[in-house]
Structure formats: structure tokens, C-alpha cells
Amino acid sequence: MKKEVDYKSAYFKKILMCLYDILAVNLAAVLTVVIVYDGFVYTDVLFQRAIPVTVIFIVLLWAFRVYSSMWEYAGSKELLSIFGAVLIGGITSIAVDIIMSNFHFASSGLHNGCFSLNFYVLFTVFVGVFVAGMRLAYRMTRRIGKTQYLKKKDKLDRVMIVGAGDMGMIIISELEANNFTKGKPVIAVDDNPLKVGSRIRGVPVKGNCNQIPELAQRYKIDTIIVCLPSVSSERQTEILRRAVETGCKLKTSPSLLEMTDGDEGKSRIRDVNITDLLSRPEVKLNPSVCKYLYDQVVLVTGGGGSIGSELCRQIAKYSPKKIVVFDIYENNAYLLKMQFRSHGDDVPELEVRIGSVRDEARLREVFDEFHPTVIFHAAAHKHVPLMEDSPHEAVKNNIFGTYNLAKTAMEYKVNRFVSISTDKAVNPANVMGATKRVTEMIIQYFGRKCNNSTIFTAVRFGNVLGSNGSVIPIFTEQIINGGPVTVTHPDIQRYFMTIPEAAQLVTQAGGIANGGEIFVLDMGEPVKILSLAENLIRLSGYKPYTEIDIKFSGLRPGEKLYEELVLDEESDSLKMTANNKIFVTKPLKMNDADFEKKLDILRSAGMDEIRGVLKTIVPNFREPEELNGEIIMNSASDKDV
């Protein structure tokens, strides 16, 4: 019913517009005669030409889709349509007068039955002004009315535009088109000194980006929109961090390349999220490196998890024959399958099989069914405090699950095996980290055992933003609940990267592996968890410590203050690969027979014996109290210096 009413209303508006244009054309003719010929003359001529000339103008305006435009949101395109129709109409009216002069205008006193050139020029101008003017007046009236209503209803946000370039102009236009419901641009800032003091679509450029806090306070800014698509990621991060300090709401725009025709109906402004505050240069991918995935059957263990599912999405880009997800947890795996199915034939076939890497018999069933040629091993227990309480489960899943999978892969002559490791495997201070270090050793052990007939490799990286159990979702929930946000220690630091970035680099590393290497991903600079919590609170629209409190809960069992990415004995062999975000270390020398014996001892070790046995396999596995004590002492001595 509502749609029918809207349709009738739109049709009625078009009729009114058409009637107005009929009046405008004839009023323009009368007014032009009065001005050009000093009086109301040639009335008979005006009357005789009124119908054909008016019909011509209305048909042209209709043909130029002037009546289809929504004039509340009209711009330069709509005005050009009007003037195009009017110009052709003005020229055509001359032809009409010439034709009709042969029948009616012979005794009119007009030269050759036509008006003067001045008449036709002025007549055309008047028609254009009358037709366009009414629509612009309608647009202005509607906007002013809405703005006044919004002012009475609720105070409009005062907006600072960061970046007085093309994107800044686009964003200001978008805010105008939405009647400033998303905020009214008050000032702009730009690092180009030539722009300071000028205006962009009427908005004054008052300073540079370093003055954001000062100008935000002076002009009582509520929202800051960063429009810097071409600025380096490092500078963008610096500007965003400066803007966060103001306490204003933060939004950002996409790059110009991200704005496609298909996005015209969508807002080009989005909220700034915590990943925007991490200085992460763009990952440059080399698609040719991932050709090893083409037309292959790829098995992803833990494929329903946050890392595993993103790996599946990245792998799908390289046209494998089939992706097989092997996971113990059915819900996430099922959701991933439904996502793939919704894309139809645009993505490769994805199969899900439920099972655990602990179960060697189940692994063989899956290998017999699909015969995978490439494996990405992402299945693991990863929560440090939980594994401190259940070390036996960490050993069974992380160590012997990896052993079972690697052994089966070797027997079935899989081409490549890529295992996901962690920075917690470096100088581990907990059971989880120690088990992941052992998995790296298992990968290298099987590489030697099969003489690299299967290329075994591991990829080591730090925390992944947004993954299951990461600090961001936990902090976000605490903020939603009103706080406090709990941080374990004021000095704790971690390396971070996004899930897509991690998955992209893992697939790249798999393509450049020769066997036995451990690849280390460039994680940038470590981030203080306290700073992360403070910024997340600010991005949520609150002030840390006053509106949302932060409390320190103390280090959890097995938790280190700092993480590392490379062992001391690996540092001399660490080299950059062709991808400057991926580094590689040479395999460390190992006594395979001794390693096998220690694994046998670990397999039968009791709960109280596991830590001791792990320390015999991973000599640099030390208790967290010992490692953290050294870090605190070194930090204190550095401050004294």
C-alpha cells in the first residue's frame, strides 16, 4: 500500500513539473518579446507558435530524463541535462518559426517571418533559468527545511575533514547529499602548506595534520573523517593516532581504487577500527608464487578456525581442484561450507570432514578418500593459560597430532606440507609454546626422513587480530559491558597482524619453500597491550580511566612480557626472501635418533613429568618467572643508563 502511495506521489510530482515547464516556456517567450521589442507585441505570433514550441521543449526535457531526476539530490549532471534540452529547444524553435511563417507570419511584420537573433538567445536563456531555477529552489528549500528540522531535533555533529584533496571533496559532497545527517564539515586540515588558508567546497582549510588536537578543541569538533587514500600507511597511522587523542569520533574513507561503480549506493565513510592504528605496510603478493595450488587437492586441518577458514578463502583464489577442511569442531566448518556454497561456481568445491589429527586411523580414511597433494596444518591448541592446566592435551594434539599428520603425508607422498607455528615457540615460557617448538622440529625431522620428497616447512608469526580468543574481542565485550578492561601487565607487548595478511603470507611461504625451513613473517613493531586497550576505548567513544577503567590483573600462568620471532641460534642464518615480508631460517642440526627417543618418553609421560620432558627436547624452555624477571631487570638497567 505504501509503495502504491509513493508511486502516485512521484507521478503527481512529474505532472506538476511538466505543467510548470509549460508555463515557463510561454512566460519566457512573452518576457523576451517585452524586453527585445519594448512592449507586449506580436501576440498573434506568440499564440500561433505556443503549442508546437512548447511541445518541443517538453519532449526534449523528457528525452533528457529531466523528469526522472530526484531534484532533492540533484547536481551538475541534472543541470547539464536541462541546459542540453533547452539549447536544442531554442535552436529548434527557429526552425519552427521559419516553417510556420509560410502559413501564418507573412503579414506579421517580422523579418522573413522570424524574430531577431537577440530574441532567440534571450528566450533560450530565460527558459533555462526558469526551468533550472525552480528545481534548484526546490532543492534548496528541501535541504534548508531538513537542516532546520535536524537542528531543532538534535545538534549536528561538527566535522573535521583530514585531507583537502579529491577524496576530501567527495566526502564533503556525500555529507551534503545526506543533508548533513552524518555531520556538517566545519574545517579541513592538510599537510600541503599551499592548501592552508584556501577552501574546499566552501570548507576552510585551517592548518596541517599535526594541528589536529589543537584545532579539534578550538572548533569544538565532534567527528574527524580521515580522507588520505594516497598517503603512506605509516603516515596514516601517525595521523590516526593523533586524532584518537582528541576523543572525537573517528571515521575514514577508502582509497580511490576501492571506490568502484558498484559502490555508488553505499556510504564511502566507515568507522576507524583498531587495525587502522597498527602501522602495517600493504602486503604485496606475487600470484605466480602460489601456482603450486592450481588444480591441487588441498587439505586444511583446523580449517573451520579463524586462521584456517581465511587460509581456505586465500587458497580458493588460486583455482585448486578441491579444498578439504578437516576439523574437530563441526559448527565453524559447516558455516564455512555454506559460505563457499553461496558463491556457486565462482569458488572451488569445498568438502568438510570431521575428525582429529590425534586419530591416525581417521587421517588415513580422509587421505584414502581425497588423496591431498598440499596440506596446511592449522589445527592446534593455542590458549596459553588453558594448556598450562592441561599440558597432556597440548602434547597429544599439538605434538603427536602433527606427528601423525606429517607421517601420513609422507606415506601418501603429499607434495607440500605447511605447518602454522607461533612466536611463542621461540624461547618458550609455557607448555603451548614448547609444544609448538617441538612441532617445528617434527616438520624438519620428517623433511630429512623423506629426503624432501615431500616439502615440509613451517611458518612462524605472532598474534592475529580478531582471531578466536584474541584480546580485541575480549576488550570489546568488556567495553560494551561498561568495563573495566583488564590488562595483565602495563609493560606487556605483542606482535600483531591481521587474519588476511597472515593467511596471504602463509600461502606465499608455501610456494617458496624448498624443505626444512622455518619462515618468519615480518610482524612490524611490537604493540603494547595497554596502548591497544586505551585506543580501543577511545575508538568506542569513551575516555580511558574515567569513563571506562583499565585494571591490571597480573600475568597469567605461562605468560611472557615480550615475545620473540627468532631463536638466538637462528639469527645468524635469518635471510629475507623475494617477498620482503617473509624471512627464512636454515634448519638447525638435530640428532634424529635422540629426538625419536625423547618423543617416545614424552608419549608415555605422566602429567607431572611433561614439563621436565619438554625441557629435555626444547632446552631453551624456561619458566615465565625466570624470563620475565630478566626482562624487568634489563628494562630497569636500560632506564638507569
The set of catalytic residues is: 424
* Helices and strands in the chain, H and E counts: 20, 22
The gap between the terminal CA atoms of the chain, to the nearest Å, is: 78
Q: How many CB atoms lie within 10 A of CB 251?
A: 21
- C-alpha cell at position 597: 627417543
Cβ 546 vs Cβ 478: under 8 Å: no
Cis peptide before 484 (omega within 30 of 0): yes
Cβ 162 vs Cβ 188: under 8 Å: yes
Q: Which residues contact 27 (CB under 8 A, 6 or more apart)?
A: 126, 130
User: What DSSP letter does each residue of 265-313 carry, written as one string?
Assistant: TS-S-EE--GGGGS--PPP---GGGGGGGTT-EEEEETTTSHHHHHHHH
Could you give the 3-state DSSP secondary structure of residue 417?
strand
Q: Which residues contact 236 (CB under 8 A, 6 or more apart)?
A: 226, 228, 276
Cα-Cα-Cα-Cα dihedral sign, residues 333, 339, 342, 346: negative
Q: Which of 229, 225, 238 has the alpha carbon at shortest distance from 258?
A: 229
How far CA 231 is from CA of 145, 159, 535, 591, in Å, comes to: 38, 21, 22, 51
CA pair distance 455, 367, nearest whole angstrom: 17
Could you give the 3-state DSSP secondary structure of residue 264?
coil
Q: What is the dihedral of CA 233, 234, 238, 244, to 10 degrees?
A: 40
* Rg of the chain (C-alpha set): 35
User: Phi and psi for 114 in degrees, rounded to 5?
Assistant: -120, 155
Could you give the 3-state DSSP secondary structure of residue 29?
helix
DSSP state of 578: S
